[in-house]
Each structure stands twice: as structure tokens, then as C-alpha cells.
């Protein structure tokens, strides 16, 4: 089962640069990154709503929503920030540079999140292998930027 999750993560990761390119085409057509991001999120919201309705996904009770930590509502804000910034900077950086920078930043941030076990992640100690892996990935991103 772990392999299936890894495969899904791999496919999702491969979709990110495609999403940025598609959103940039949308930006070119509508003239502004914010409107392109808004349209992208509207399409995504419609798809998720349709899926939830077809799958008869149970909706949470109001009390359950009210009991969530206040920071748990920030995921949409962070997603909107990522998509809007990607649309803005991708034409200047290119796909490989953008992805190299964002993946390196994601990995370094993820190491800290795992180490401290915050925002819903289980705690996983940072160790030499994890640090070395992150350094190699950051070095790879730097090499990609040297075009």
C-alpha cells in the first residue's frame, strides 16, 4: 500500500509543472495572474464538489468545523498564494527553475515540520541522512539555476 501512496505522490508532483504551464496560458488569455488563479481555483472547487457529490462524501457537522484549530483554515490561503506566485514568476524563471526552487524549499520546510511534529504531521527526528538528502536537493536546484 505504501507503494501506491508513493506512486500517487509521484503523479501529483509531476502534475505541478503542468499546472503552472496551464495556468500561465490562462494568465496570458485573461491578462492577470490573480484572475487566472481565481479561475483555476474555481475549476478545482467545481471538480472537488462534483466528486464529493458523486461519492456521497459525508459533510462535517458545524460543531466539528468549529472545533478545528484556527490555523487549519490556512491551507486554502497557502494554496492560493502558491498558485498565484507560480503564475507570476514562471514566465521569468521557467519550469525547471521554478520547480527546483519550490521543491528545495518544500523539502527543507518539511524537514522542520517533521522534526517538530507540527501542523498535523507525526514527529520524525531530523538526522544526518535527511540533512544530506536536503543538501543534495538544494545543490541540484542551484545547479539547475546555473543555466
Q: How far apart are CA 108 and CA 135, in angstroms?
A: 9
- For position 1, what pLDDT does the model report? 72
- For position 77, what pLDDT does the model report? 96
Nearest to 39 by CA among 97, 96, 83: 83
Nearest to 77 by CA among 48, 30, 26, 41: 41
- For position 19, what pLDDT does the model report? 96
What are the boundaries of each domain within the chain?
Answer: 1-90, 94-147
pLDDT in tens, 91-108: 999 999 999 999 999 999
Mean pLDDT (10-residue bins), the chain, 147 residues: 91 94 96 96 97 97 94 95 95 95 95 96 97 96 91
- For position 23, what pLDDT does the model report? 96
Answer left, alpha or beta for residue 135, where phi above 0 means left and psi between -120 and 50 means alpha.
Answer: alpha
What's the predicted TM-score (pTM) here? 0.86
- For position 48, what pLDDT does the model report? 97
- For position 147, what pLDDT does the model report? 75
Helices (H), the chain: 2-30, 33-54, 62-66, 75-93, 95-116, 128-145
Amino acid at each position: 500500500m505504501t507503494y501506491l501512496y508513493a506512486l500517487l505522490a509521484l503523479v501529483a508532483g509531476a502534475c505541478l509543472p503542468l499546472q503552472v504551464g496551464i495556468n500561465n496560458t490562462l494568465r496570458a488569455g485573461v491578462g492577470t495572474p490573480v484572475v487566472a488563479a481565481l479561475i483555476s481555483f474555481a475549476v478545482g472547487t467545481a471538480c472537488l464538489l462534483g466528486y464529493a457529490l458523486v461519492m456521497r462524501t459525508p459533510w462535517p457537522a458545524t460543531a466539528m468545523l468549529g472545533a478545528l484549530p484556527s490555523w487549519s483554515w490556512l491551507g486554502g490561503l497557502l494554496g492560493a498564494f502558491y498558485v498565484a506566485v507560480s503564475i507570476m514568476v514562471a514566465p521569468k524563471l521557467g519550469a525547471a527553475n521554478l520547480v527546483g526552487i519550490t521543491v528545495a524549499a518544500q523539502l527543507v520546510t518539511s524537514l522542520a515540520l517533521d522534526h517538530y511534529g507540527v501542523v498535523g504531521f507525526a514527529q520524525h527526528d531530523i538526522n544526518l541522512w535527511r540533512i544530506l538528502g536536503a543538501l543534495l536537493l538544494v545543490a541540484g536546484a542551484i545547479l539547475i539555476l546555473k543555466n
